[in-house]
Structure 1
Amino acid sequence: MSVANTEVSAQVTGPCGDDDCGLRELLDRLGDRWTMLVLVELAHGTRRFRELERAIPGISQRMLTVTTRRLCRDGLVERTAYATIPPQVEYRLSPLGRSMTGILTALADWSRDNKAAIGAARARWDATEGLSRSGGAS
């Protein structure tokens, strides 16, 4: 990043002034690779750890553990551990997490509805960027 970009970014403040109202931290959490998928799955109801793991293709046990711990810490998910052998753990959206279900559903629906359009836009971009880069233009 250039010095000019850093200076410009430092001058811009959000509606809360220097404190970004926690928005940046929340967007970082929601924008990571797994959080939205876990929240969308939990919007369907309480899930045991292995159910979550099976429902989210590609997530590792470690990443599911990290993600659910962060969501519990943020107050969006509640964790219940049962003293059984082997131990059983269930996750559910907290009341705060449930208050986000409308937003999550709308975002998931929008993503599904616009997947083809976004794919086409990316293909057009890649085609024109590939031409401009190979031709020396920027």
Structure 2
Amino acid sequence: MNTILWLKAFHVIFMVAWFAGIFYLPRLFVNHAESDNKDVIEQLKGMEKRLLYFITPFAFLTLAFGLALIHFYGKEWFVAAKWLHIKLTLVIGLFIYHGYCFVLLKKFREDRNTRSGRFYRLFNEIPVIALFIIIILAYVKPM
């Protein structure tokens, strides 16, 4: 059994699950910000909460398996892998993004959202761009 391949597989599995949710959640926020229908708004509140709480463990499992990979490869590799330092910076940014989604969720839950659907459409692009860069860094290793 090749441990590193299993670590990589689980890292990618949980990353895909996390990103599926983090791509969809802002779309729910768009619908919520643009809706005037109280029944729809209440349904969206439930969907947003369930989705965010569902994907949060995937974020931490992605991180855990990523850190396990770093540990498995060792300190020398980590120091030399400059691409990984950029990737980790982006991952930290994604965790901040994810945390900010909890702030937004609370604002929506309390009917205190002041942002437009356009804001949430743009907000939705952040993880997309981060994912493109992360994939290129991880597979191409340009540095």
TM-score, normalised by the number of residues in structure 1: 0.26
- Higher strand proportion: 1
- Larger relative contact order (CA 8 Å, sep ≥ 6): 2
- Higher helix proportion: 2
TM-score, normalised by the number of residues in structure 2: 0.25
